[in-house]
Structures are given as structure tokens and as C-alpha cells.
Amino acid sequence: MADHLGSAYAAGFISVLVLVLGSVTRFGARLRGTWHVIYVVTAGAALYFNVLLGVVGTFSETEPTFFVVQCAVVLPFVGVTVAVISGFASERWPSARCGRPA
């Protein structure tokens, strides 16, 4: 129980650090340049860590289905994050559209 609680605290601590970095990019750098991409990645990562805590809380880490569920949770987060970054890249840099019409 103690090491399970410790891993939850570690994931929560990482989530807070990622949220602090996201807040700096959002309010400090005002999403200029590459900071916009960093903000999207940090927001997605912080949300993933919070969902991961819920998944870890429902499963024991020794169950074989834990890995399958964890993959099912991480894949949508990666897909949405890449899609959002691609959308912002095509809006900001028209040459990044890779031949797609405007």
C-alpha cells in the first residue's frame, strides 16, 4: 500500500510540475512562437497524468490487463496532442501544410 501511495504522489507531483510549466507558457510567454506547442504538450501531459492516476487506482499493477488499459488511455492523448499541434502549425506557418490547399 505504501509504495502504491508513493507512486500516486509521484505522478501527482509530476502533474503539478507540468501544470506550472504550462502556466508559465500560457501567461508568461503569452503563447508566442514555440511556446504554443509547449503549452499544448504540457496541457495534454498534465491531463494524461490525472487520468493515469484514475486508471492506476482501479487496477492492481500486476494485472495483465493494466498494460492494455494504459495503452488504450495513452494513444488517444498522443493522437489528439499531435493533431492539435499540426493544426496550429498549419495556421501559423502556411508552408507547413505540406501541399494542402488553403
Mean pLDDT within 2-24: 79
CA within 13 Å, CB half, 21: 18
Domain contains 27: yes
Domain contains 86: yes
| Inter-residue contact 46 to 19 (CB < 8 Å) | yes
Residue 5 has what pLDDT?
A: 61
Domain contains 13: yes
| Inter-residue contact 88 to 43 (CB < 8 Å) | no
Domain contains 39: yes
Domain contains 10: yes
Q: How many domains does the chain have?
A: 1
Mean pLDDT within 13-21: 89
Domain contains 22: yes
Domain contains 102: no
Domain that holds residue 16: 2-97
pTM: 0.69
